[in-house]
Amino acid sequence: MLPPVASRFVAGESAATVLEHARQCNEDGIGVICNRLGEHYHDRAPADADAAAYERLAADIGASDLRACLSVKPSQLGLLVDEDVFRENLARVVAAGADHGVFVWMDMEDHTTTDPTLDAFEHHARERGGGVGLCLQANLRRTADDLRRLADCPGKVRLVKGAYDPPNDIAYPTQSRVNEAYRADLEYVFREYDGGIAVGSHDPEMLTLAADLHTKYGTPYEVQMLMGVRETAQRDLASVCDVWQYAPYGSSWPAYFWRRVLERKENALFALRALASG
């Protein structure tokens, strides 16, 4: 069972709990991106099972009036088992999304997965004329080129700084250089894209820049933030722009929870206080 301390970052263990979380967020004007926790599968069975769970979730969202969508991890759908397994499972989830009118995001994992993830996204985005989105990481030197490649592609792009630690020859070495790349990438997409831009960041500086670029170029965009992070800001922003919250759920919550707790001092203090009072 999910302990109360984890429920700040994880929307329960079942599909029903993430849908209930979506209902509550929707009341605050925030859409929800549902991510079933699971990654790095080396066997086909769990990858197939997660694809089936996403198909059911797409049907449940489609049958509801919720503003909710999906986000999948390539290694959760079998990329490390075999590229064909990944492609088959992704095709199932994307088809279910299209059948039920539910948008499907693809998270971006470590740099060894960038090419197959990008190729799979582009295939579905062009074939279906949209309905899918891809996360790109500003810390990778290649991302400016990838953004140019996708400029005329339907679908959406979520720009993040990058949560993995790629080798120096393919990535920017310092946080300030990553921030510089993020600012340049934002300027590029607001100038060159017709829309379909998601700013995946909690950074007040980047959110202000996005708002300024929106004013300058008139390009529509949305902000995406994680469940449990700057939630007051999420609610405030929802009154001025489109805001989506990325909400993970599922029984594999411990690894995700500890990642969140350990990445920032504020999160660790929150966890310690919650444990001390509980």
Where do contacts with ligand FAD occur on this chain (CB under 6 A)? 107-108, 135, 137, 160-164, 200-204, 224-226, 229-230, 246, 264, 266-267
Please identify, using beta-carbon distances, which residue of 59 and 142 lies nearer to ligand FAD.
142
Min CB(157)–ligand FAD separation in Å: 11
| Amino acid at residue number 101 | G
Min CB(88)–ligand FAD separation in Å: 21
Question: SS3 for 92?
Answer: helix
Positive or negative torsion for Cα 45, 50, 54, 57: positive
Min CB(202)–ligand FAD separation in Å: 4
Q: How many CB atoms lie within 10 A of CB 117?
A: 22
Please identify, using beta-carbon distances, which residue of 76 and 219 lies nearer to ligand FAD.
76
Please identify, using beta-carbon distances, which residue of 171 and 226 lies nearer to ligand FAD.
226
Q: How many helices (H) and strands (E) does the chain have?
A: 10, 8
Does residue 207 contact residue 184 with C-beta atoms inside 8 Å? no
Min CB(233)–ligand FAD separation in Å: 8
How far is it, in rounded angstroms, from Cα 15 to Cα 19?
A: 6
Please identify, using beta-carbon distances, which residue of 164 and 188 lies nearer to ligand FAD.
164
Min CB(177)–ligand FAD separation in Å: 12
Q: What is the dihedral of CA 231, 139, 108, 150, to 10 degrees?
A: 110
Please identify, using beta-carbon distances, which residue of 143 and 201 lies nearer to ligand FAD.
201
Listed residue (137, 150, 145, 135) closest to 104, CA to CA: 135
How many residues comprise the chain? 278
